[in-house]
């Protein structure tokens, strides 16, 4: 495996991981009890900035308050 092939392979794996994390975040947003406008804003933010949007969502969105309890 040469360097270019290895870089493409690693890039593909990282891209797939980011895609999965973004889909999980978007699914969590749709399941939350936020207002529709805030759901829309978060989803658009994650779609425009896949890496940073997901990170900011997980650390700054007050997820515990807005997620529906599953008890």
Q: Are 26 and 57 in contact (CB under 8 A)?
A: no
| pLDDT on residue 71 | 43
Confidence of residue 70 (pLDDT cuts 50, 70, 90): low
pTM: 0.79
What's the pLDDT tens digit per position in 22-52?
999 999 999 988 899 999 999 999 999 999 9
Q: What is the arithmetic mean of pLDDT over 7-35?
A: 93
Judged against a pLDDT cut of 70, whether residue 1 lies above it is answered with: no
Between CA 31 and CA 39 the distance in angstroms is: 10
Between CA 8 and CA 12 the distance in angstroms is: 6
């Amino acid at each position: 495996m040469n360097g270019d092939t290895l870089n493409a392979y690693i890039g593909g794996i990282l891209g797939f991981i980011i895609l999965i994390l973004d889909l999980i975040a978007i699914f969590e947003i749709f399941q939350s009890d936020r207002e529709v406008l805030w759901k829309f804003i978060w989803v658009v933010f994650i779609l425009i900035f896949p890496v940073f949007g997901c990170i900011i969502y997980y650390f700054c969105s007050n997820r515990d308050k807005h997620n529906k309890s599953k008890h």
